[in-house]
């Protein structure tokens, strides 16, 4: 056994030192390092170019990811050839394997195609608050096959790109302003003009409401047991939820102060004694 390992060592030593094998090892390692550096430089340059165009953010990340996969694939093929491995068979196997996988992995390819559509149409960008596929959240990242959203309660939800493309996309962050719609019910018999004055006053008093934009304070519906008023105002996108909840609370307080009653369901129970029968 000792002689066996000694023979292996002697052979390796002769190849590495005497036959100049160290040159091949050094050349291979140098090629590995230079290849990694070149890939890093190419991706950095492409990233810089994309950041100066409309394809920045999510679209840029997506395209750089595809470029990186292509570069690493080419890089591995070159290394295999340097090692003396015939890569024509590897490429043929990969091509046939890709065809077979394409038939068996239609869902994955559909998600990939969905990612390309998202990148091409850019319906949202990183940091936008969107609603799609029945899920609302802030866009964290678009990868090759899925889109990651962060919900308001800080959960990360991964949505397949095909589902995103195949459903309506509501982007709440695209515009700078957003309208706050609040419906308020009052009992029949209330002074309509008084209700409108109180609602308008609540809007006027809130500092985050855009007062240079027109309000809408009108009767929206004559319900079965109440008059429903619609109260619409405009705010900056970032202030939407703060204003929404503030107005709900402020309207309730002002109605109590002004004696405006909010209707609620009542149940009248009549008890009939035996003598009344």
Q: Which domains does the chain have, with CATH numbers?
A: 13-104 (1.10.287), 122-171 (2.30.30.60), 177-258 (3.30.70.100)
Task: Report CA 63 to chain centroid distance, whole Å.
Answer: 17
Residue 113 has pLDDT above 60, yes or no: yes
Measured CA to CA, the distance from residue 228 to residue 162 in angstroms comes to 40
- pLDDT value at residue 5: 58
Measured CA to CA, the distance from residue 225 to residue 264 in angstroms comes to 8
Asked if 165 and 145 touch (Cβ cutoff 8 Å), the reply is no
Measured CA to CA, the distance from residue 117 to residue 121 in angstroms comes to 6
| Residue of higher predicted confidence among 205 and 82 | 205
Structure tokens belonging to residue 111: 């998600």
Q: Which of 134, 162, 161, 156 is nearest to 146 (CA)?
A: 161
- Which whole number is the average pLDDT over 196-206? 96
The 10s digit of each residue's pLDDT in 245-257 is 999 999 999 999 9
- Which whole number is the average pLDDT over 178-184? 95
| Residue of higher predicted confidence among 198 and 84 | 198
- pLDDT value at residue 258: 94
Q: What's the whole-number average pLDDT of the chain?
A: 82
Structure tokens belonging to residue 227: 């008059």
Measured CA to CA, the distance from residue 203 to residue 186 in angstroms comes to 18
- pLDDT value at residue 81: 74
Residue 206 pLDDT class (50, 70, 90 cuts): very high
The 10s digit of each residue's pLDDT in 51-79 is 776 556 666 676 777 788 888 888 887 77
pTM of the model: 0.58
| Residue of higher predicted confidence among 144 and 136 | 136
Length of the chain: 277
Residue 243 pLDDT class (50, 70, 90 cuts): very high
- pLDDT value at residue 92: 64
Distances (CA, A) of 62 to 32, 50, 68, 140: 25, 11, 10, 13
Percent of the chain having pLDDT more than 70? 74
């Amino acid at each position: 056994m000792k002689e066996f390992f000694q023979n292996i060592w002697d052979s390796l030593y002769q190849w590495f030192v005497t036959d100049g094998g160290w040159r091949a090892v050094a050349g291979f390692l140098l090629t590995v390092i230079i290849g990694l550096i070149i890939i890093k430089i190419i991706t950095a340059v492409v990233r810089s170019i994309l950041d100066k165009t409309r394809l920045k953010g999510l679209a840029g990340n997506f395209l750089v990811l595809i470029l990186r996969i292509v570069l690493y694939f080419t890089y591995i093929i070159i290394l295999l050839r340097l090692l003396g491995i015939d890569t024509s068979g590897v490429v043929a196997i990969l091509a046939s394997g890709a065809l077979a996988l394409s038939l068996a992995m239609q869902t994955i390819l559909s998600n990939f195609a969905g990612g390309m559509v998202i990148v091409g149409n850019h319906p949202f960008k990183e940091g936008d608050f969107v609603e799609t596929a029945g899920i609302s959240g802030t866009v964290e990242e678009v990868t090759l096959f899925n889109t990651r959203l962060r919900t308001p309660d800080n959960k990360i939800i991964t949505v397949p790109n095909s589902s995103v493309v195949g459903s309506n996309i509501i982007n709440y962050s695209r515009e700078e302003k957003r309208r706050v719609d609040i419906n308020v019910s009052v009992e029949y018999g209330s002074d309509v003009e008084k209700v409108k004055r109180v609602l308008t006053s609540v809007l006027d008093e809130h500092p985050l409401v855009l007062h240079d934009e027109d309000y809408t304070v009108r009767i929206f519906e004559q319900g079965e047991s109440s008059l429903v008023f619609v109260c619409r105002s405009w705010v900056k996108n970032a202030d939407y939820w703060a204003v929404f909840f503030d107005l709900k609370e402020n309207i309730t307080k002002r109605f109590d102060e002004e004696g405006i009653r909010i209707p609620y369901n009542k149940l009248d129970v009549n008890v009939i004694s035996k003598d009344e029968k």
